Amino acid sequence: MGKKIEFNFEGKDYTLGFTKDTVATLDRRGFKISELNDKSMTMLPMLFHGAFLARHPKISQDLTDRMLPKFKRKQDLWRWLGEAYSEPILALTDEPDEDSEGNIDWTESESY
């Protein structure tokens, strides 16, 4: 987990962040970051709840729905959640370091 947010709610500590597994879980549940603007009432709470799954996999949607209105600086929170969600995706799609040993080079051919 790269970026993380830590906070306390009703006497319990929480850590938010995303891993490749939690991003995949959100994908399977129907989350689409491209639909944040069109389906905000569905996608924003889903993204927020998904940020708990790496460290708090059994947390209920009901609890995260109660927490969300209490957060200050919501625009910063949404920005952070979008960036944190994107980190595992970027790690999958970025090119490896050129100097790393064991990198795989490949060639394309016309037939199989």
Q: Are 14 and 46 in contact (CB under 8 A)?
A: no
Place 54 in a pLDDT band, splitting at 50, 70 and 90: very high
- Cα gap 3→86, rounded to integer Å: 10
Amino acid 1: pLDDT: 65
What is the reported pLDDT for 110? 86
* Residue whose pair of structure tokens reads 């689409």 in the numeric block: 32
Banded model confidence at residue 95, pLDDT cuts 50, 70, 90: confident
- Stretch (H or E) spanning 7: strand 5-9
Instruction: Give residue 97's pLDDT.
Output: 80
How far apart CA 39 and CA 16 sit, in angstroms, is 22
Where would I find the H helices in the chain?
Answer: 20-28, 40-50, 61-67, 74-93
**Residue 85 near residue 18, CB atoms below 8 Å:** yes
Predicted structure pTM score: 0.84
